[in-house]
Amino acid sequence: MTEILTLNKIAKCGTDRFDPAKYSCTDSANDPAAVMVRSASMHEMQFSEGLLAIARAGAGVNNIPIDRCSEQGIAVFNTPGANANAVKELVICAALLSSRKITDAIDWCKTLKGEGENVGKLVEKGKSSFTGPEIMGKTMGIVGMGAIGKLVAEAARDLGMRVVCFDRKGRSVISGVETVDDMETVFSAADYLTMHIPCNDYTRNIINSESIGKMKDGVRILNFARGELVNSDDILAALACGKVAAYATDFPTDAQLGVPGVIAIPHLGASTPESEDNCAVMAADELIGYIERGEVKNSVNLPELAPPAEFEKRVCVIYRDGEGVREGIVAALGGNIVSLCSAAKKGIGYLVCDTPDPDAEKISAANGVIRVRVIL
């Protein structure tokens, strides 16, 4: 029985993808072959030798120690696009909230409780304190045009906004959307700025005093990607002086709570039943394909690979990509090869070979090999 460890509540439609005759899905697995996780941090976890893969039911993987997983030959998957519509809807909602001071107005209305027949007059008298601009005709700046960014761009365009975007991978060809060559152009053009990029050494604190200084006065910043993209001290200073009109975030910090202009949302981006179901099913299918057939789809540390569906005996090899390494592994496989495919990504190679008599010990001894697995 192959054990699957669930670190968070995973939608049943996802865990039901595992054949109960082959798999056991629990939150107390002792020696799991795979882990399904949503937001739980895995950085302090010790991984057993039997752990083959981790699937994040969501897009971001900053709660998973990717480098350590690669060193130990553990595949890490995510589910890009599965929660894209849910996040898109919340981003558009945040743009509206940040414009019209809606949350402040709602809170103010609650203070009128008990005023009886005066409520109507008080509402009319006080509403002028909560005026704000419409989004139609304004510019939405988008950094990152993956699955979420594209949906936000299309929605903003359809709402009558001008959309200006930048994507490092060039994934931004959408009708009616302007593509620019650098983030600075997006920063300077945006009335509303939203980012849909991972948090890494390049992007951490990318919104700071310097980048904010390049933006329009009164810009509204929407952060539904990762909290660490924004320098908290700098955004608070920009709000205090009026440079930034509003900061809506799904990742509030203690310092940001209760600050005028901050719209703090408790990480609701993917918190819809549809999104949770989509992520769970996608994550489960990725694990099943990898465990049973050696397939790699939507991995953040291994290259995409789709070996033949039918096989009798298969060997899967994770290795450090380098000159002559793949050739050495092929030599160790011997001459009786039915099929072979391989690819490399960010210094990590992955090879799948169908052969009737794999010598796992000999393959493991080849230069650069991290992990060898035989699937029968």
Mean of pLDDT values over 225-240 = 97
Establish whether domains 1-83+272-302 and 306-376 are of one fold. no
CATH code 3.40.50.300 for 1-83+272-302: no
pTM of this prediction? 0.80
DSSP class of residue 102 equals H
Give the pLDDT score at 209.
97
* Residue 263 Cα to chain centre, angstroms: 21
DSSP class of residue 204 equals T
Mean of pLDDT values over 298-325 = 95
Q: What percent of the chain has pLDDT over 90?
A: 90
Give residue 171's pLDDT band: very low, low, confident or very high (50, 70, 90). confident
> What average pLDDT does the structure give for the chain?
95
Q: 173: buried, middle or exposed (CB in 10 Å: 19+, 13-18, 0-12)?
A: exposed
Per-residue model confidence as pLDDT tens digits over 116-170: 999 999 999 999 999 999 999 999 999 999 999 999 999 999 999 999 999 998 8
Q: How far is residue 357 from each of residues 150, 253, 332, 339, 371, measured CA to CA in Å? A: 47, 56, 12, 13, 18
Give the pLDDT score at 39.
87
Give the pLDDT score at 290.
98
Give residue 335's pLDDT band: very low, low, confident or very high (50, 70, 90). confident
Boundaries of every domain in the chain: 1-83+272-302, 84-264, 306-376
What is the residue-wise DSSP string for 293-358? H--B-SBSSS--B---S--SSEEEEEEE--TTHHHHHHHHH-S--SEEEEEEETTEEEEEEE-SS-
CATH code 3.40.50.720 for 84-264: yes
Per-residue model confidence as pLDDT tens digits over 92-104: 999 999 999 999 9
Give the pLDDT score at 353.
96
Q: What percent of the chain has pLDDT over 70?
A: 100
CATH fold for the domain made of 306-376: Alpha-Beta Plaits (3.30.70)
Per-residue model confidence as pLDDT tens digits over 241-282: 999 999 999 999 999 999 999 999 999 988 899 999 999 999
Give the pLDDT score at 169.
87
